Amino acid sequence: MLTTRPYAQSEKLNKTEILKSLFLNKNENSSVFIQLGHSRGVQSLKVSNNGTSVLSGGEDNTVKLWDSKTGRIKKTLKGHSGIVFSVDFSPDDLMALSGSTDNTLKLWDLIQGKSVKTYRGHTGYVTAVKFFPNGQYALSGSSDKTLRLWDIREGIQIHVFEGHNDAIFSIAISSSLKHIFSGGSKGKINLWNIESGEILKTFKHSDNVSVNSIISLPNDLFISGSADGAIKIWHQDQEEPLKEFFINDKKGEDLSIDSLAIGPDGRYIYSAISDNSLKIIDLYEGKIIKTIPLKQSIFSLALSRQNQLYAGRGDGNITVRNAISGEEIKNFKSNSNEIRSAHMTLDGKHSINYESRNSISIWDLEKGKRINLFHSPSSQITDVKISPDFKFVLAGTRDGSIIVFDPHSGDKLKTLKGHNQRVNDLDISMNSKLALSGSSDKQVKLWEISTGKVIKTFKGHLDEILSVTFSPDQKLAVTGSLDNTLRIWELRSGEEIDEHGMAKVNDDQDSYKGGVSSIAINKKYLIWVSGKNSISIIDWSTKIKKNLSVSSGQNEKFQEICCVSLSQKGYLLYGRRNGTIHIWDIQKGTVGNQLEGHLRSVSSLTVTRDGRHAFSSSWDGTSILWEVESGRKLFQMASFKDDEWVVLTPEGFFNASPQGEKHINLLKNGEIVNM
């Protein structure tokens, strides 16, 4: 559907042709993709041994490999189903190790950008990982109170170190490679003998606060930082610290050391403080020499041999500072806007996104370009829908009102008032004359768009309304609620004519939580999300209901179904929190393609009237147009915080705003190429 040639200026077209040539060259390892940084906090950072790359682990469950010079992403490593708390490079910088709240470690091939091994054994969050200098062994610490030693090449667990009476938050390996340090949640640091697995000594850092960071130094020294604001330097043979620094020097302060890094010469310590500041300590002088106030919280620090300090922020960005002066040099940004709600017209010609920063973007899907961007006068928008005739946009809000916009000008045409609580879902009739709204006030309303008046109010649900839709013949309304029921209403009379409860999955009471959050309907089937991993299907002609369990068996929360859609040909599409989209042939009962392209939870799904194409949006900031039958990605599009936009095909063709191409990455033989 995307044709770049008629819509691109000659200069841009030339670059497009270069991109395509590089991407299709089978003799080179080349790829082109949109720059998407972490969408949530950066919990862990590590600089490669050669200084050319930076590894980051995020609260968005991804690991990212960055080019340290340009701040461009080389690879996004997706596979964890929980927050990535810790990352490390192998000694040769070809592999990476990560630990996650999904209780696993993963080994990554950084050339291929793929997970090659998953290590299981921990029964709690993996909070820290560390390679040994030989690259064959690795150490991990966990909230399950254990340390584990792994043979990385063989993929097996060698030893479990037991003896901590609290969760382990930090680990280090001594310079002699004979000992291990581990810091716990209750202020204790244990010194372990690697060969025997015994605790040789316990150091009391603080009282009942977590030891968040440990750094091993030469000559049997180590540094620790804790949640009570204390930084201490120790010799492993002495029970008392050699030096102490206290951040909380004012009465009433309660500041935490969230992360530590030390300079290559061993003189300066860099500490991330919970008051959004960075402090530099001179060990020779024995004092804090600089405090740098920051606008964002810092979760993680890493220092390169070139004296560049990398700081992982709570907003998903990574800042780079001169470690000597403290001045900011560059910023590895997460520039895309999260897409919270989206919708495509049934003819597949246009789409609308409601994005972070209160922006609403309108897209021409045939031309592959954004045609309008306007910012909502309200910061409380909850859902958006675009009319089939492309003459207006509906936007539900938290205060219960519904705003009608002109999609061409962005002007507000009118406001529909009737609900007194948040509007959670909207639908527009095929003739663009009527609308349905579902609200947290437990009511569903039928509106006449031209007059802005309520025609009917449907009452009966016992909890907030999560989803609403018109039937294909426009005679019925189908609604889903947090009360775990789906109800069918006759529009003319306003009477409830049918009700269905939630499906029970494997006697799991927790599967009921979430209510009926998404509904899809065509002339043959009615489907809805009837549990975290279950979909209910009704055949209109036979009235037979069946439940489809799509449980994956692993990390159910990460696999939860977010939304469903239905084609006229009987293909069922559902999106998960892990960013994948799955296709089922309902009539045949067979599994179709799994569509992969999003890095975070799918926020919406729409299928065109002819069933050929599907449109998905995600919290990762991108929308994708798919070919349903083949599962092929046609193009991906994104808006950015600087109001630029990009549309990119898998083959490397693109369309973009005047400055939008700066958000495209070209990777050739493992290196970023300057476009």
Domain chopping of the chain, boundaries: 1-35+642-675, 38-332
The upper half-sphere exposure of residue 32, i.e. CA atoms within 13 Å in the direction of its Cβ, equals 28
- CATH no. for 38-332: 2.130.10.10
Q: Report the C-alpha gap between 357 and 529 in whole angstroms.
A: 29
Q: Please answer whether residues 86 and 127 qualify as being in contact, where contact means their C-beta atoms are separated by less than 8 angstroms.
A: yes
Q: Which pLDDT score, from 0 to 100, does residue 551 have? A: 59
Q: Report the C-alpha gap between 438 and 421 in whole angstroms.
A: 10
User: Phi and psi (nearest 5°) for 6?
Assistant: -70, -15
Residues in the chain: 675
Q: Which pLDDT score, from 0 to 100, does residue 159 have? A: 96
Tokens 């810790």 sit at which residue? 86
Identify the bridge partners of residue 627 per DSSP, sorted by sequence position.
613, 632
466, 39, 635, 348: CA torsion to nearest 10 = 20
3-state secondary structure of 312: strand
Pairing of strands 381-386, 393-397: antiparallel
Identify the bridge partners of residue 130 per DSSP, sorted by sequence position.
139
Q: Please answer whether residues 99 and 128 qualify as being in contact, where contact means their C-beta atoms are separated by less than 8 angstroms.
A: yes
Q: Which pLDDT score, from 0 to 100, does residue 24 have? A: 47
Which helix (DSSP H) or strand (DSSP E) does residue 24 occupy? helix 10-24
Q: Please answer whether residues 666 and 19 qualify as being in contact, where contact means their C-beta atoms are separated by less than 8 angstroms.
A: yes
Positions in the chain whose pLDDT score sits under 50: 1-22, 24, 504-512, 553, 555
Q: Which pLDDT score, from 0 to 100, does residue 253 have? A: 65
Q: Report the C-alpha gap between 406 and 389 in whole angstroms.
A: 12
Which helix (DSSP H) or strand (DSSP E) does residue 226 occupy? strand 221-226
Identify the bridge partners of residue 487 per DSSP, sorted by sequence position.
479, 499
CA dist 300 → 313, 662, 670 (Å): 7, 27, 26
Pairing of strands 350-355, 359-364: antiparallel
Dihedral sign, Cα of residue 18, residue 23, residue 25, residue 30: positive
Q: Report the C-alpha gap between 4 and 53 in whole angstroms.
A: 33
- Supply 143's token pair: 């909230």
Q: Report the C-alpha gap between 655 and 598 in whole angstroms.
A: 20
The DSSP output letter for 20 is H
Number of Cβ within a 10 Å radius of residue 242: 11
Q: Which pLDDT score, from 0 to 100, does residue 606 have? A: 95
Q: Please answer whether residues 578 and 619 qualify as being in contact, where contact means their C-beta atoms are separated by less than 8 angstroms.
A: no
Alpha helices in 334-458 (DSSP H): none
3-state secondary structure of 638: strand
